[in-house]
Structures are given as structure tokens and as C-alpha cells.
Amino acid sequence: MSVIFKRPHALLDVPTHYCPGCGHGIIHRLVAEVIDEMGIEGETVGICPVGCAVMAYDYFGCDMVEAPHGRAPAVATGVKRSNPNLHVFTYQGDGDLAAIGTAETVHSGTRGENIVIIFVNNTTYGMTGGQMAPTTLPGQVTQTTPYGRDVHTAGHPVKICELMSTLDGVALAQRVAIDSPAHIREAKNAIRKAFDNEANGRGLSIVEVLSTCPTNWGVTPAEAMEFVRSDMIPYYPLGVYKDVTAGEKEAR
């Protein structure tokens, strides 16, 4: 019998520490599938964040560097500039990328660093117990917003794809989700496009993936997927915000 679905080689055959229903596992697999398809595992370096994906270095088969607290794009810059033949990606959550790492994110875009950023937006600080993140939705209850996020005191959520799409060095800014098989396929295509851009020296590509944190949202895995559909996608529309290979398109 022929095998039609298997673990990608670039994803190590080890158990992960992720909670049931967490999107990180799906997103790891998509990145690993792209690395397999492109045959670049031996020339790829991933940069891990702080947050639940901090131990992604134990899960990917390619070389990995740990750069906590939002510094992943800066470290990726150094790795890529010192050896332009390497394929370099960062893997970051919203607390890491859009709070403590905002400067690194924005300026790697202004510089047009030839790297891939995989941005996992689960609207919360997962690792530390579910505090408000820059991407927490208005009215969303978290550990630090027990009455719901009040935009008058806590500010409005940061829309990273919209922001990054304004920067001249950015080649691709696309928002995808993992709440359905169709969206997961779309997410895979976006990640492939980002790695293709990197391989062809087009500049910085960022793929924002709307993901789940059932543990800190206090819901079941199925309810978490529903929350992505009912609350996250309406606030964070999916689509291509910038694509230098196709000209700018309007978000769907």
C-alpha cells in the first residue's frame, strides 16, 4: 500500500509539549513540508522565539538558533548576511513578535532582509498563562483583562500584516488561518511562497497565521477553531496584503 500522508522529514519524530488543539503543531508541520518539498533541510536555519514555541529547536530537523524576546529577526539578519546561501526563517508568537520585538520586526522589514517570518497570532501570551497580547481582540477576556480588553485603556490590537505591507522592503505580507482543511492548504501555499521569495532574494516575507490557544482561552480544541472563525477572522481578515510577485492586492 502506498503512503499518501506521512510526517515530513524536516519534523523530528518526537512528541511535542504543545497542548491538544494548539495550532503550533499544525504550523510546524506546514513549515517542515515546505522545507521537504524544496529539499533545503541541510541549508535551512530556523530562529525560535520566547513563548510556547521556544522549544521548536527540538522539533525541526534543520539547524535552529534560539533568540528570545523578539530578537529573532535581528539574529536571522546576522545568520543570513553572514551566509547568504542559507535559507533562514523565524518562528514567533504575538507576544514575542508584536510586543517586545516590534522594533526588530518593523526594521527587518524596512531593511528588506531576505528572510521568512512565520508569525503565529493566537491573541494571547500562551506560555505565561494567557495574559493580554498586542493582538488580543477588543472585549476579549484574558488573565490581565478580566472584564475584556478595553481599547481606551489598553489600546487597539496591532494588525501586523497591514503594518508590514506599508514597508518598502517587504516582499510578501499574507494572513492565513488553520481553522479548516481549506485554510490549512492556503496557509501551506503562503509559507511556500515566502520560502520561494527568500530563495529568490526578493526581500522579507511575513506569513501571519491565525492560530489557537484552547488552554488559555478556556475552551475545547473544537471551540477554539470556532473562535478563530467567529471572532478572529472578522477582525483580522485573511488575504494577501502585499505580494511583490503579483502586485498589491486587496485583502479579501
List the interface residues with ligand TPP, window 74-93 (CB under 6 A). 93
- Pick the closer one to ligand TPP by CB: 48 or 171: 48
Give 109 or 126: the residue with its C-beta nearer to ligand TPP.
126
Q: Is 95 among the residues that bind ligand SF4 (CB under 6 A)?
A: no
The mark string for 21-50 relative to ligand SF4 (x by CB under 6 A, - otherwise) is -x-x--------------------------
* Count of residues touching ligand TPP (by CB under 6 A): 19
Contact characters 120-139, ligand SF4, x per CB under 6 A? --x---xx------------
Q: Positive or negative, the Cα torsion across 114, 191, 74, 162?
A: positive
Q: Could you tell me where the DSSP H helices lie in the chain?
A: 24-38, 72-82, 94-95, 102-110, 151-154, 160-164, 181-199, 214-217, 221-227, 233-235
Find cell 543570513 and name the residue.
80
Beta pairing class for 170-177 and 239-243 = antiparallel
Binding partner of residue 94 among ligand TPP, ligand SF4, none, CB cut-off 5 to 8 Å per kind: ligand TPP
Q: How far is the CB of 52 from ligand SF4 (least distance, A)?
A: 3
**Other C-beta atoms lying within 10 Å of the C-beta of residue 240:** 21
Interface stretch with ligand TPP, choices 39-47, 126-134, 138-146, 225-233 (CB under 6 A): 126-134
Q: Which of residues 194-213 bind ligand SF4 (CB under 6 A)?
A: 213
How far apart (Å, rounded) are the C-alpha atoms in residues 170 and 172? 6
Residue pointed to by grid coordinates 522594533 = 103
- Cβ-based nearer residue to ligand SF4, 224 or 238: 224
User: Which of 125, 227, 236, 241 lies at the binding interface for ligand TPP (CB under 6 A)?
Assistant: 125
Q: Which of 165, 209, 215, 240 binds ligand SF4 (CB under 6 A)?
A: 215
174 three-state secondary structure? strand
> Does residue 246 contact residue 239 with C-beta atoms inside 8 Å?
no
Identify the residue among 52, 184, 206, 238 touching ligand SF4 (CB under 6 A).
Answer: 52
**Cα–Cα distance between 187 and 192 in angstroms, integer?**
9
